[in-house]
Amino acid sequence: MAPGLLVTSHVPLPEQVYHKVRRAILNGFFAPGQMLRQEEVAARLGVSRSPLREALPRLEAEGMVVLHPRRGYAVTSLDPAEIGELFDLRILLEAELARHAVERRQAHDVARVRAILAEMSDPKLLITGESRQGWFALNNRFHDALLEPGGHRHHLRALENASALIEPYIRMETNLTGDLRQAQQEHSGIADAFAVGDPVRFKCLIREHAENTRTRLLIALPGACSVPR
């Protein structure tokens, strides 16, 4: 066999830990500003500190946590100005990706978007509570499915990075208002434009979707700011 051809697809423990901690931050289980005590987090995940200590630097590189030397890692806490900047970055990258994605999309890409959208409209996912996490998981897959067809891995990585940083706050807002209907409506308009292949309309709707999310968020934020340092 040719050297370097690995047969077994093995997911390293540090990577599993990375995903679990990341999800916990995204859904607010670890709140902005909260210190992450390594022994406690590792114990909760049933691993030792070693793999955790390899997962945390990745989260730090993405800006999800910050390291206070000799004090530990804390979940990143963003002020409204930074959240605004991240929305700008998201919009900038989405516009660029949207252009290429519409051009290069194929039939199966459209089908995938429609399938995800159908899953998301399940009323069970729309009620407030734990099921919201399911909706947000689908929401991320929906946005990915719209923008992945154009390729551009590095743009996508930058976008997912920026989006992840603001996601905890977006989830806070939807938990407060409990209203996903506007998002749902905008999604279906976006999916239509994607299916039709109208690049101008698609870009525009994607942009408006982000702008609307930002507006709602920055209005609701002051009330949601329970940021333990």
Name which of DNA, its own copies, none residue 36 binds, using a CB cut-off of 5 to 8 Å depending on partner kind: DNA
Using CB under 7 A as the binding rule, whether residue 72 contacts DNA is answered as yes
- DSSP strands (E only) in 127-215: none
Identify residues 8-27 at the interface with DNA (CB under 7 A): 8, 10, 12-14
- The stretch among 50-58, 87-95, 133-141, 145-153 that binds DNA (CB under 7 A) is 50-58
Say which residue the tokens 């609307």 belong to: 212
Q: What are residue 75's DSSP bridge partners?
A: 65
Using CB under 7 A as the binding rule, whether residue 88 contacts DNA is answered as no
Name which of its own copies, DNA, none residue 218 binds, using a CB cut-off of 5 to 8 Å depending on partner kind: none
CB of 226 to DNA, least distance (A): 19
Which residue in 122, 108, 135 sits closest to 195, CA to CA?
108
Work out which of 19, 39, 127, 157 binds DNA, going by CB under 7 A: 39
Tell me the number of residues near DNA by CB under 7 A.
27
Which two three-digit tokens encode residue 50?
């070693």
Q: Which of 48, 215 has the CB closer to DNA?
A: 48
CA distance to 14, 89, 132, per residue, from 159 (Å): 23, 8, 22
Angle, nearest 10°, between helix axes 13-26 and 38-45?
110
Q: How far from chain centre, in Å, is Cα 114?
A: 20
- DSSP strands (E only) in the chain: 35-36, 65-68, 72-75
Binding positions for DNA, rule: CB under 7 A: 3-4, 6-8, 10, 12-14, 35-40, 47-51, 53, 67, 69-73
